[in-house]
Every structure is written in C-alpha cells, then in structure tokens.
Chain A
Amino acid sequence: MTFSFWHRQKRESELEEELQSHLQMAAQDRTDRGATPEQARGAARRELGNVGLIKEVTREMWGWASFERLMQDVRYGLRMLAKSPGFTAIAILTLALGIGANTALFSVVNGVLLNPLPYANPDQLVWLAESKPNFATGSISFPNFRDWQKNNRTFSAMGAYRPFSYNLSGLGEAEQLRARLITSNFFAVLGVNPAIGRSFAPGEDEIGAAPIAMISGGLWERKFGSSPEALGKSLTLDGKDYTIVGVVPSSFDLALSGFRNTDLYVPLGQWNNPLLLKRGAGLGIHGIGRLKPGVTIEQARADMQGVTQSLAADFPDADKGIGAAVIPLKQAIVGDLRVLLLVLLAAVGFVLLIACVNVANLTVARSSARMREFAIRAALGASQGRLLRQLLTESILLSLTGGALGLLLAGWGTKIALQQLPVSIPRASEIALDSRVLIFTLIISLASGIFFGLAPALKSARPNLHDTLKEGGRGASGSRHRAQGVFVVVEMAMALVLLIAAGLMIRSLGALWKVNPGFDSHNVLTFGVALPPSMRSTSRAGIRAALRRLNDELAAVHGVTASSLSWGAVPMDSDDEDLFWIEGQPKPTNENDMNWSLSYVVQETYLQVMRIPLERGRFFTAQDNESSPHVVVVDDVFARQYFPGQDVVGKHVFLQNKGGRAEIIGVLGHVKQWGLDTDDKESLRAQLYFPYMQLPDEAMDPSSWSGTGAMVRFDPKTPDIADALREAVKRLSSEHVMYGAQTLDEIISSSLATRQASMILLGVFAVLALGLASIGIYGVISYLVGQRTQEIGIRLALGAKRADVLRLVLGEGMKMAALGLIIGLAAAFGLTRLMASLLFGVSATDPLTFTVVAILLMGVALAACYIPARRAMRVDPIVALRYE
C-alpha cells in the first residue's frame, strides 16, 4: 500500500511535468512563428484546456480508480460511523462477541481436530490394541506383540507401552513417579529425539537387560535443575538403581489417555512380571505403529487380520477370537471429543448469525434515518452500485473492527476457558491462534460484513427518490418493517434452537446425577500406597502382615470411619478381570472359552466403605482369610447371568488365577463400573468380589510386590483427611508413599466432565444468543413505536384506551416472537438429533425441554417488548400530534 502511494506520487509529478513540457513546446512554436512570449503562453494554455480535468481523466487510465474510490468510500464510511458512535459501538461489540466466540472455538477445533500431530509424517502413525470379545480395544499380550512386530508386512515399526509407577527413593523425599514401560523403539516410531542423551537401543528392552531409564523434561528440571550432569546418574526405583541415559524433550506430550505427566520411561523388559511371557495375559500393554509409506489404514488392517488369524491358529488357547484394532493415532487421541466440538462449533455459528442479524437490524433502522442522504446522492447522479458499495464498505469496516476485537477476546477467552472448564482437552498445548485461525477470522469477518450489510444495503441503494424527498425526511416504508420483522423471527428461531440444545444437556446431566451408581460415592477416598522396596526380602506371610498393619493404621486415623485395602477394579476408574468356570460344567480347554467377570479384591470392611446393598447371603468377615476355605461374593448381574432362576448362594465357581474352587456366599447390588452413562451397554458387567487375604501365595510373592490400593470412608467434618492419611502412612516407614488420592465423587465428576463442559459452553452460547435476540426484538419494537408515535397519538386522541395501545404494541412483538418460536421448534426438532450421542436419559426431542424453553423464550420476548410498549402507552397525544 505504501509502495503504491509513493509510486503514485511519482506518476503525479511526472504527469505535471509532461503537461508543462507540452505547454512550453506549444508556446515555443508560437514564439518561433513570431508571437510575443505572453501571447504565446496564453494561447498555448487556452489550447491545452483545463489542466485539472486532463489530469483527472488521465489518472483514471492508471487503473487506480477503483482503489481511489475504495479509499473514498472508506473515508466516508469512517466519517458516517464516527457520526453515530452509539450504533458503531453496539455493532462492533456484538460482532466482536460473535466473531470472538467463533474464533475461540475454531482455534480449539483447529488445534485438536484439524492440525496434524506434531510428529514426522503423522498420517502414518496408528494406535494398536487387541480386539477381544469383551473389549474392542483391549491390551496386547507381550508375546502376541512380538509376533505382530515380526509377522506384519505393512508397518515400518511397532512399539509398545504400558503405564507403571515407581517408588523413587534416595533423591529427596521418597515419592511415587508415573512411568511408562516402553519398547526400545517407542520414541523412534514417533520420530521423537531425546533433548539430551539417547533413546533405548535395540535389545535393551529384553528381560534381563541392564536397568536404564529416560526421564521427562519436567523431572529433569525438578530433580537435576536441567543439568546435563544428570546423564549417567542413577535413580533408585523400587529399590533398584536405573542409569539415566536420556532426557525426553519437555515439549513431548503424547495425549493418549493416561500418557500425561509421565516422569519416567523404562524398558519394558525391566518389568519383573512372569505374566509378561504369557500369551493370554492382558497386562495393559498397548502399541503404536508407523505404517510403511503409501500403505493405507485398510491395507494395514487386512494385513493385521492375517497376522492375528494365523496366531489364533497356532495358539488357540490364548488367541482364539483375538484380532488387532488398528486406529489412526489422531483418532485415538481425539476420541469422542469430535462430536462435542462440532456441536459446539455449530452452536457458536448460530450465535454469530444472531449477532449478524442484530447488526443488520440496527443498520436497517439507521439507514431509514439516512434515506434522505441516499436519495440526494442518487439524485446527484450516484449509481446504485456506488451506493451499494458505500454501504457494504461501511458494514465491512464494522465487521473487520469487530473481528479484530473478537480476535483479542478469543485469545484471552480460550486461555481462560481451557483453565476453567472441568475437562482436560487432549492436545490442549497445541491450541493457538495460528495462521489458519487468523484466516478463518478474516473470512468470517468479511462474510459477516457482507451478510448483515447486504440486505439493508440492497434496500437503501434503491431509494425511491420521489417519495423520500417528498416525505420530507420521514422516510418510513412498510417493506422496511417487514425486513426487520423477518430479522426478529430468524433471531428468535436460532436462539430457541440453542436454548433447546443447552436445555437437553442440562437435562442429561440432571438425569446422570440421579443415576444410582450402586454405591454411596460421597466421602470416600481412594488412593495407592507404595510399600518399601526393602519388603521384597520378606516372606509371603511378612507381606500379609504388612498389609494388615497398613490397614489397621489407616483405620485408626482420626476421621476414618471404615477402611479397606483393595486390588483390581475401582468403580469408574480402573478395571481388572477374573476368568472362571462354574462347578458342574467341564473346565474349558482354553482361556477364551472361560467366563469373564470384573474382579474386586477387597477386605471385609469394604461394604462399610462403599455401602453397596447386600441382597442375599453374607459378605466377608475377618475369618475369611488365608487359612479358611475360599469364598466369593457376586453381584446380581453375575447371579442372573450365570445362575438364572437359581439361588446362587452356596454354589461354587472355579477361578483360573485365584486359587481355584470358591463358594459363593452372598449377592451384592450391581455397581456401575463403566460409568453412569455407558455401564448398561457394556458386555462385561458381571462382578465378583474376592477376599484380599485369600489371594493365592504367588500373588503375595514379595519379589513382585510393590504396593496396594486402599479405600476409606471418612467423616466429612474432618479437615484434610488425605493429609492425615499420608502422615499415617509415613509413620510406618519413610519409604511408604501414599499417592494418587482422589474421592469417588471426583472420579464420577471427571467421568461426566466432557458432558459438563459441553453443557456449560452450550449454556453460555444459548444465554448469549438469548440476550442478543432480546436486544434485537427490543430494538425493533422500540423503533416501530418511535415510527408510529403519531398514529398512537391519533388513536389516543380518538379515544383509544392506553391498555389497547399496550396490547397493540405487545401483539406486534409477540406475533414475530411466536412465528420465530414455531420455526425454531421445527428446526430444533431436526437439528438436536445430531447431538443425540451427547445426551443421556432424555430424547433429542424431549417435550418437556421444548415446552419449558419455548415458554422461557416467549417470556423474555414479552419482557423485551414491554419496555417500548409502555413508552407507547404513555405517548401524550398533544405532543405526538404537534410533530406534524
């Protein structure tokens, strides 16, 4: 732009010089022919004509005329906007809200859904799991994984990982570290290089290899002050020394569930678990893979199907019915957030539309005041196109300013929202106002400007000169009212759709909170306790004694009303499974033909902690211990599924991994293991409780023992129960570490967090829409009252009652609102189906929500109309008629 100004100035002076030289040559010719210099100059000048006009016409030839006109329109537009600061401020603010909300949400959609993952060739990356009868994406057994690696033809590499936790001692206070056990090539698959040091070399992940570790950037900073000296130092993890060989860059943030906040990476072979070599064991191992260049996901799936089928043929015991789930890594990371984000994007789109309609409304109202201005310009020869361009320039000026302000709002609002909303969005660190977001903002700003500017501009640019000028500036016409009426109807309809969407989410959450989880989640704390590594040298009996002492210590803490150690599943948090067969039926030949149940290993106090109703028989007592016959308790789903129509108490089952035959002694109510919303839809729901102290000796083996879970019910009046428990654990030894404490209520809340966040956001958008729409209807009714002051005055003078006037005005507004309501209801009826997957316990066309929201909207519309209607009612006929 500056260049062309500079360039332009140069041409301007050149044109001047060219014309001057023409003049001089013409004058010269004349003096050559004998004229006096004065005569010659005068004649030459006369011959040349109007220099200004010549320049003007010549300039047009330079092709800058359109730019010139644009600048003129912009200048004029700025002047007009500055003349009505109230209108300008409201319009810009409205647009800033609409555009800002859209930019903010788009930046999230862009960062989470659209941007490629921050790894080399991210489209080649996939997430791997075993598909099993009860789990679409179950964990992969290590021997299977090794065979997948060896036998596939479509992957350039496959890595595996598993969550783990280590007790770190000897480096400050003992603490529990979140770790990942990984195969050597894990970081190579992703293409991530260590910040310093090296990754694991091939073979270092084998069982029996030297203990080494990589640490996260966070731990590096916390424990070593980011000093390169950390390399080669050793960490004491669960009592064993691991040499640090590398530091993972702190930017590494693989947003697969549970990958966050990992402190430590250790080769998978360091896991001292004999089950690692068992083909049938599901040990929480999942994989990531990189496809060979050019291989499609379908080809990879077909390849893996072949691989798993031949494994099933070779190892029917372990691999019958087991396939491979190959899922694009991005999809695995983003998961079910996709629907939510798209619903929210649609919702903010509506908000922006309403904002545009509002501004269009204001523009129409204002343009009636400018009717004369346009008529005069048109009378003086301005073309329709020119007037149209002028008006569009003004609206685009508004929308671009609104967009710039919206961008600020978005940058600030996204940051706040990401912190405040009760949901952790994967890839949140990648959300930013990048160039794509800026382009998006620019486009929606321009589009909004054209959208809300065009309708009023088309009307105003075609002024009826005769009528307008004759009317002496009153400039009211029926068609303008109709346009505003349409705007109000559209706004009402869109606000209704948003309100219904928000209403459905509120109802869903209400329904979810009312769902009985099967236990009393209030005032229960669950946590882990890491036992000292020194305990590895003790006996199995020693372990049992230590566990008993631990629970006694926990139960003795002031404020604890009941305490139970637990192992295996924690409702809505983690799960564990048992394989069994029923006494009297033949033992299945392989594990895949056995029955599955969820496995809860608990103490006799568990029922006091969880308050699960006992339906039949009895629960465990302290006498159900290592020296007494094995007993189990099941839930009613188990009873109905495996013993339909029979009394299950007294029956026997055989547990594959927990010491064989056990008697069923009681039945508990079902617990919603898989969450309040989805539990009913899961296939694996049968539940089995096992006494902690009857765990078979091999499970109590000190060498593989690192810790236990625990659950306590506490008195809500006790302050800081978690701190008191931590102190109690510390009293046992400085190497006992309590970690991962959370209440069951927190676990339930976080299972609803996505829904809660979408409810909050939809609610905010709906309220915004409702506010904008009521401002819209208020503005239109006010405007109409203003226009009809005279008419109202006459009516009153002729004897109309004030209540009639009130009814007249309110009726006008209600007519528009009602029409908007009907259209909105029809639209909502069609649109809310799209969010059905986010709803729970309420249909997408829930009549109650529709009715309540419709009444709410009519109420708000009525209130918005009432203020101008009262003004109309108070019109003084004398004053109104004097205007004439």
Chain B
Amino acid sequence: MSPRYQNRIELLQGTLDLLILQTLRWGPQHGYGINQAIRTNSGDILQVDTGSLYPALHRLERQKWITADWKVSENKQRVRVYRLTAKGKKQLETERSRWAQVSDGIAGVLNPAKRGSEA
C-alpha cells in the first residue's frame, strides 16, 4: 500500500520532470535505470510508476531537454539511453530553484510562527 500512496507525490506538477532531469545529471541512463535511481536515491520512498515515467521521458525528449540513443547494455541488450541536453541543464536549474521556492513556501505554511518572526 505504501508505494502506491507515495506515488501520489509525483503528481505534483513538474516534480517528476525535476527528478528525471536531476537523475540524468549524473550521466546517461535508460528508463529502467532512471526508475531504479530515483527509488534508490529517495531511500525507497519514491517509486515512479512506469505509466508516468515513459510518457514523461517522451515528453521531455520532445521538448529537447533530453535526447535518446539506442545502446547495447553490458548484458548485450538493446536499450534506449537518455541524455541531458544543454537546454535540459538550464531547465534543471529553473526546476530546482522553483522546487526550492515551493518547498520554502510549504515549510512556511507548516511553520507559520517561525516565518512570521522572520518577517
């Protein structure tokens, strides 16, 4: 039950894009690899539904933030590998700063007293 519930988090607009772009920051990766990386790096909290992952990858590709090539993996399998483009890197910066704003905002809402004293 828990992974399904947590999946709801990714429905927050733009979050999945941010996660994918951030994951590709470390190097080219195929869809399954991205999925695993997000899961591992979030300590198994976030699990991306494949039904969301692939549409998102294809959308980002169309927006030219990432590009895809066919490569052959270590176990001789043809895989589609995604790579961050220069445009994608810029987009990642934007998404990150927006995410920072959002999380600041949410933190402010959750701790109104603290925010009020700062003001």
Q: Does A62 lie within 8 Å of B51, measured CB to CB?
A: no
Q: Is B55 an interface residue (CB 8 A)?
A: yes
Known contacts being A48-B50, A63-B62, is A21 close to B55, with CB within 8 Å?
Answer: no
Chain B residues lying within 8 Å of A15, measured Cβ to Cβ, are: 54
Chain A residues lying within 8 Å of B70, measured Cβ to Cβ, are: 14
Chain A residues lying within 8 Å of B50, measured Cβ to Cβ, are: 19, 22, 47-49, 54
Q: How far is the CB of A581 from chain B (nearest CB, A)?
A: 91
Closest 9 CB pairs of A and B: A61-B58, A25-B32, A61-B59, A57-B55, A18-B80, A22-B32, A58-B55, A58-B54, A54-B51
Chain B residues lying within 8 Å of A17, measured Cβ to Cβ, are: 78, 80
Which of A's residues lie within 8 Å of B, judged by CB?
Answer: 14-15, 17-19, 21-22, 24-26, 28-29, 47-50, 53-54, 57-58, 60-63
Chain A residues lying within 8 Å of B55, measured Cβ to Cβ, are: 54, 57-58, 60-61
Q: Does B62 lie within 8 Å of A18, measured CB to CB?
A: no
Q: How far is the CB of B58 from chain A (nearest CB, A)?
A: 4
Q: How far is the CB of A239 from chain B (nearest CB, A)?
A: 85
Which residue of chain A has its CB nearest to the CB of B31?
Answer: A22
Known contacts being A26-B32, A61-B62, A62-B62, is A21 close to B78, with CB within 8 Å?
Answer: yes
Given contacts A21-B78, A58-B54, A61-B55, 6 further A-B contacts (CB under 8 A): A14-B70, A21-B30, A28-B75, A50-B51, A57-B54, A60-B55
Alpha-carbon distance A12/B33, docked complex (angstroms): 21
Alpha-carbon distance A28/B59, docked complex (angstroms): 27
Chain B residues lying within 8 Å of A14, measured Cβ to Cβ, are: 70, 80
Q: How far is the CB of A67 from chain B (nearest CB, A)?
A: 14
Known contacts being A18-B31, A22-B50, A50-B51, is A58 close to B77, with CB within 8 Å?
Answer: no
Which residue of chain B has its CB nearest to the CB of A23?
Answer: B32
Q: Does B54 lie within 8 Å of A18, measured CB to CB?
A: yes
Alpha-carbon distance A29/B32, docked complex (angstroms): 11
Chain B residues lying within 8 Å of A60, measured Cβ to Cβ, are: 55
Chain A residues lying within 8 Å of B62, measured Cβ to Cβ, are: 61-63
Contact with A along B69-106 (1 / 0, CB 8 A): 01001010111100000000000000000000000000
Q: Does B77 lie within 8 Å of A49, measured CB to CB?
A: no
A-B contact pairs, 7 of them (CB 8 A): A17-B78, A17-B80, A18-B79, A22-B30, A22-B50, A25-B32, A54-B55
Alpha-carbon distance A47/B35, docked complex (angstroms): 12
Which of A19, A25, A53 lies at the interface centre, i.e. has the most chain B CB atoms within 10 A of its CB? A25
Alpha-carbon distance A53/B77, docked complex (angstroms): 24
Q: Is B49 an interface residue (CB 8 A)?
A: yes
Q: Does B79 lie within 8 Å of A58, measured CB to CB?
A: no
Q: How far is the CB of B84 from chain A (nearest CB, A)?
A: 18
Which residue of chain B has its CB nearest to the CB of A50?
Answer: B51
Chain B residues lying within 8 Å of A18, measured Cβ to Cβ, are: 31, 54, 79-80
Alpha-carbon distance A809/B62, docked complex (angstroms): 62
Q: How far is the CB of B88 from chain A (nearest CB, A)?
A: 16
Alpha-carbon distance A25/B32, docked complex (angstroms): 7
Chain B residues lying within 8 Å of A22, measured Cβ to Cβ, are: 30-32, 35, 50
Tally B residues with Cβ within 8 Å of A: 21
Kindly identify which residue among B33, B54, B78 contacts A19, using a CB–CB cutoff of 8 Å.
B54
Q: Does B59 lie within 8 Å of A24, measured CB to CB?
A: no
Kindly identify which residue among A25, A28, A53, A63 contacts B51, using a CB–CB cutoff of 8 Å.
A53
Q: How far is the CB of A481 from chain B (nearest CB, A)?
A: 48
Which residue of chain B has its CB nearest to the CB of A47?
Answer: B50
Q: Does A58 lie within 8 Å of B58, measured CB to CB?
A: yes
Which of B31, B49, B51, B70 lies at the interface centre, i.e. has the most chain A CB atoms within 10 A of its CB? B51
Alpha-carbon distance A24/B75, docked complex (angstroms): 11
Chain A residues lying within 8 Å of B78, measured Cβ to Cβ, are: 17, 21
Which residue of chain A has its CB nearest to the CB of B3?
Answer: A47
Alpha-carbon distance A63/B64, docked complex (angstroms): 13
Q: Does A24 lie within 8 Å of B31, measured CB to CB?
A: no
Q: Does B51 lie within 8 Å of A49, measured CB to CB?
A: yes
Chain A residues lying within 8 Å of B35, measured Cβ to Cβ, are: 22
Alpha-carbon distance A386/B35, docked complex (angstroms): 36
Alpha-carbon distance A54/B56, docked complex (angstroms): 11
Alpha-carbon distance A327/B36, docked complex (angstroms): 82
Which residue of chain B has its CB nearest to the CB of A21?
Answer: B79
Alpha-carbon distance A594/B80, docked complex (angstroms): 99
Q: How far is the CB of B39 from chain A (nearest CB, A)?
A: 11
Which residue of chain A has its CB nearest to the CB of B80?
Answer: A18
Alpha-carbon distance A19/B49, docked complex (angstroms): 13
Q: How far is the CB of B12 from chain A (nearest CB, A)?
A: 18
Which residue of chain B has its CB nearest to the CB of A63?
Answer: B62
Known contacts being A21-B80, A25-B77, is A54 close to B54, with CB within 8 Å?
Answer: yes
Q: How far is the CB of B67 from chain A (nearest CB, A)?
A: 14
Q: How far is the CB of A83 from chain B (nearest CB, A)?
A: 36
Kindly identify which residue among A29, A47, A53, A62 contacts B58, using a CB–CB cutoff of 8 Å.
A62
Alpha-carbon distance A49/B47, docked complex (angstroms): 13
Q: How far is the CB of B51 from chain A (nearest CB, A)?
A: 5
Alpha-carbon distance A50/B51, docked complex (angstroms): 8
Q: How far is the CB of A398 from chain B (nearest CB, A)?
A: 35
Chain A residues lying within 8 Å of B73, measured Cβ to Cβ, are: 21, 25
Kindly identify which residue among A21, A25, A49, A61 contacts B49, using a CB–CB cutoff of 8 Å.
A49
Kindly identify which residue among B51, B75, B79 contacts A57, using a CB–CB cutoff of 8 Å.
B51
Q: Does B58 lie within 8 Å of A21, measured CB to CB?
A: no
Q: How far is the CB of A522 from chain B (nearest CB, A)?
A: 81
Chain B residues lying within 8 Å of A54, measured Cβ to Cβ, are: 50-51, 54-55
Q: How far is the CB of A59 from chain B (nearest CB, A)?
A: 8
Alpha-carbon distance A818/B66, docked complex (angstroms): 68
Chain A residues lying within 8 Å of B59, measured Cβ to Cβ, are: 61
Chain A residues lying within 8 Å of B79, measured Cβ to Cβ, are: 18, 21, 25
Alpha-carbon distance A413/B79, docked complex (angstroms): 62
Which of A15, A29, A53, A54 lies at the interface centre, i.e. has the most chain B CB atoms within 10 A of its CB? A54
Chain B residues lying within 8 Å of A53, measured Cβ to Cβ, are: 51
Alpha-carbon distance A54/B57, docked complex (angstroms): 12
Alpha-carbon distance A18/B33, docked complex (angstroms): 12
Chain A residues lying within 8 Å of B51, measured Cβ to Cβ, are: 49-50, 53-54, 57
Which residue of chain A has its CB nearest to the CB of B75?
Answer: A28
Contact with A along B23-40 (1 / 0, CB 8 A): 000000011110110000
Alpha-carbon distance A19/B31, docked complex (angstroms): 9
Alpha-carbon distance A503/B68, docked complex (angstroms): 72
Q: How far is the CB of B33 from chain A (nearest CB, A)?
A: 8
Alpha-carbon distance A26/B35, docked complex (angstroms): 10
Alpha-carbon distance A25/B37, docked complex (angstroms): 14
Q: Does A21 lie within 8 Å of B77, measured CB to CB?
A: yes
Alpha-carbon distance A25/B51, docked complex (angstroms): 17
Alpha-carbon distance A62/B62, docked complex (angstroms): 7
Alpha-carbon distance A21/B35, docked complex (angstroms): 13
Chain B residues lying within 8 Å of A48, measured Cβ to Cβ, are: 50
Alpha-carbon distance A85/B68, docked complex (angstroms): 49
Chain A residues lying within 8 Å of B33, measured Cβ to Cβ, are: 25
Contact with A along B41-61 (1 / 0, CB 8 A): 000000001110011001100
Q: How far is the CB of A240 from chain B (nearest CB, A)?
A: 82
Alpha-carbon distance A14/B81, docked complex (angstroms): 12
Kindly identify which residue among A21, A50, A61, A62 contacts B32, using a CB–CB cutoff of 8 Å.
A21
Chain A residues lying within 8 Å of B36, measured Cβ to Cβ, are: 29
Chain A residues lying within 8 Å of B49, measured Cβ to Cβ, are: 49
Alpha-carbon distance A22/B35, docked complex (angstroms): 10
Alpha-carbon distance A708/B96, docked complex (angstroms): 101
